[in-house]
Amino acid sequence: MCGIFGIIYLGNKQIGKIALEGIRRLEYRGYDSCGIVVHKNGELYLRKDSGKIQEIQDKLKFDELIGNIALAHTRWATHGAPIKKNSHPHLDCKNEIAVVHNGIIENFISLKKELLSKGHVFQSDTDTEIIPHLIEEYIKEGIDFKNSVIKTLKRCKGAYGIVICYSKEPNSIIVARKESPIIIGLDKGKVSYCASDIPALLPYTRDFYILGDNELAILRPGDVSIVNFKNEPIEITKPLKHIDWSIDAAEKGGYEHFMLKEIFEEPNALRRTLKISENELKMFAKELMDAENIYITAAGTSYYASLAGKYIITKFLGKYIQEIECSELENQLLDSLKNNSVIIAVSQSGETIDLIEAIRWARKAQKNIKILSLTNVVGSSITRYSDLTIITQAGPEIGVAATKTYTTQVLSLGLIGLQIARERNVLPKEEIDSYYDALKSSPDIIEDFLKKTNHSIEKLVDNLEKNANYFFLARGISIATAKEGGLKLKEVACRFIEGYSAANAKHGPIALVREGFPIIFIAPPDESYERLVGNIMEFKARGGHIISVVVESDEIISDLSDTVIRIPQPANKYYNLFSPITFIPALQLLAYHSALAHGLDPDQPLNLAKTVTVH
């Protein structure tokens, strides 16, 4: 939530251009307003406004700003409407201290009152603005810049990734973190960068320092020193983390939108994820086999990946796995969490605050609990709270709606399930091999599907868009697919389209069905197929327009359907188990084209942000 970027050079440069590029690469984190402040020869120059980055650049020409320091911000509003005065950066009374911030200062009201009583004048409704004023207050008392920042942060409750500069200290910027991510990159002796996410720094480096909670870094051109500001500020030596993402993966590369590009990247993302080491899978499998209680928790799309993954793992583990939305984990387990439990935490960003808080709570509640996490981001917060982590190999995902990170999550959970099957010898070896073969074929199936079908999905959208409502219905493991399909439409096409259990749809949703009402059935030929046929008949009898997503050779449901989307995969139980991976691109494309049909930008859905670091 909110993207921040900071840079410090040895001498004056056309630094606005670099800062602009930095926040452009973070625009998926928030896009209701933006701003850049530059330091040049003892003065701060601020430009900011509400709107998308390109609109503001056209008006304010960020790229023309010259200086040796720049702080930049792209905002997802929390405190204060998305209007110019609330855009970041924020300054102190004397225009000497500038701050960009990602997170929430929870006690800002009392701090603001205190500062107002001391004569400070505020320009915005934000929580952030108290920070430069508080620093100003300490500097007034004769405390140096670094210690003024430390004193200020010690008084701030809540979460922050923050970058600060002071015009009277033009050779350094200060960066600090509590809960909201910050990474740092260096070009030794020349320039230092910091940002709230990896894509912003990919043009400059693949080696990063990842700031921990309560850590503060002083960036000088091409140099950094890091301290923990909660304790005595003793310098910390941190290892660099290498991240193997290509810069092309964070560019549109000829596609009209990141979302479409990322759907088409799914086959290769899955191929990379298939290479997760056996050793990692074995460690995960062992913990799950030893556990008495197992929970799987996540938010948004990762939650639906967890629903699908839970089905797959349970099949081979022979133990129930309880799925819980991470924001509800504490409420639900408050009186029942046992010591020998395992929590599988799934998050593409590894930064979702509700998830981080849930696993932190669980750790505190029960000492021997094990946290196993699945994330796409090396060094993300979740990895710090986990006993074991598997990194999915989706690469950077810039479109706000998760696509390739979803399929790689389900595939990773599938690999864990199959590892368990191997170790428990639950099936003859040939059967387990057949499941492996099916899982390994998922990239080819999707590739084949994408080659053939993009166009027919566009046509289907033309038809569907004439209707105010429709459903995705399914049974068994495909309920996860239906729910994720519904979520994609809400996110990118602003359509209130629900994914629902086909059986449960009789208990309410069927009341909406009239002649021509479309219902999309997700129908791999698994054990729930025949019952799904029954559900289709119920909806047909009421005039429903039946659209089905089926396998290539399907006959029964296809014959009952008005429109059919075929997924080019064999009709057997091995492939059915991994249909949450192979069937979802059809629904992702549907959501994408539906967004275009509504004139919406699928990469930047209204009111959303990719990484949700506030409660």
Residue ranges binding ligand G6P (CB under 6 A): 299-302, 347-349, 352, 355, 400-402, 608, 610-612
Cβ neighbours for 570, distance < 8 A, ≥ 6 positions apart: 438, 551, 552, 553
d(CA 219, CA 105): 23
What are φ and ψ of residue 225, in 5° steps? Answer: -130, 140
Residue 139: half-sphere exposure toward Cβ, Cα within 13 Å? 19
Nearer to ligand G6P, 325 or 423 (CB): 325
Nearer to ligand G6P, 16 or 30 (CB): 30
Other CB atoms within 10 Å distance of the CB of residue 239: 9
CB of 409 to ligand G6P, least distance (A): 8
**Token pair 């603001």: residue:** 112
CB of 488 to ligand G6P, least distance (A): 9
Nearer to ligand G6P, 544 or 602 (CB): 602
Among 425, 419, 416, 525, which residue's Cα sits nearest to residue 477?
A: 525
CB of 360 to ligand G6P, least distance (A): 15
- Dihedral sign for Cα atoms in the order 419, 424, 426, 427: positive
Among 118, 122, 157, 158, which residue's Cα sits nearest to residue 138?
A: 118
**Tally of residues, the chain:** 615
What is the three-class DSSP state of 509?
A: helix
CB of 106 to ligand G6P, least distance (A): 21
* Pair 124, 85: CB distance under 8 Å: yes
Nearer to ligand G6P, 86 or 347 (CB): 347
| DSSP assignment of 294-347 | EEEEE-HHHHHHHHHHHHHHHHHH-S-EEEEEGGGHHHHHTTT--TTEEEEEEE
Alpha helix (H) residue ranges in 494-544: 529-540
Which one of the listed residues 2, 165, 194, 326 is annotated catalytic? 2
CB of 104 to ligand G6P, least distance (A): 16
d(CA 80, CA 397): 28
Other CB atoms within 10 Å distance of the CB of residue 167: 19
| Amino acid (1-letter code) at residue 125 | D
Is 286 exposed, middle or buried (CB count within 10 Å of its CB: 0-12, 13-18, 19+)? middle
d(CA 126, CA 129): 6
CB of 458 to ligand G6P, least distance (A): 23
d(CA 284, CA 309): 14
Which one of the listed residues 48, 146, 483, 610 is annotated catalytic? 610
Six-digit token string for 340:
């020998």
Nearer to ligand G6P, 173 or 299 (CB): 299
For residue 2, indicate whether it is catalytic. Answer: yes
CB of 325 to ligand G6P, least distance (A): 10
* Pair 370, 291: CB distance under 8 Å: yes
CA 151 vs CA 141, 142, 160, 221, 363: distances in Å: 12, 13, 15, 25, 29
CB of 390 to ligand G6P, least distance (A): 14
Q: What is the DSSP letter of 613?
A: -
CB of 10 to ligand G6P, least distance (A): 36
Beta-bridge partner residues of 105? 158
SS (H, E, C) 123-173: CCCCCCCHHHHHHHHHHHCCCCHHHHHHHHHHHCCEEEEEEEEECCCCCCE
Helix (H) or strand (E) holding 262: helix 258-264
Q: What is the DSSP letter of 79?
A: S
Measured in whole angstroms, how far is the alpha carbon of residue 409 from the centre of its chain?
A: 12
Six-digit token string for 116:
């107002």
Nearer to ligand G6P, 375 or 569 (CB): 375
Nearer to ligand G6P, 111 or 391 (CB): 391
d(CA 375, CA 395): 11
Nearer to ligand G6P, 301 or 582 (CB): 301
Nearer to ligand G6P, 150 or 400 (CB): 400
CB of 590 to ligand G6P, least distance (A): 17
Nearer to ligand G6P, 60 or 612 (CB): 612
Among 4, 22, 27, which residue's Cα sits nearest to residue 73?
A: 4
CB of 70 to ligand G6P, least distance (A): 28
d(CA 615, CA 304): 20
CB of 431 to ligand G6P, least distance (A): 32
Nearer to ligand G6P, 149 or 608 (CB): 608
For residue 154, indicate whether it is catalytic. Answer: no
**CB-nearest residue to ligand G6P:** 300
Nearer to ligand G6P, 358 or 477 (CB): 358
Helix (H) or strand (E) holding 217: strand 215-220
Q: What are the catalytic residues?
A: 2, 610
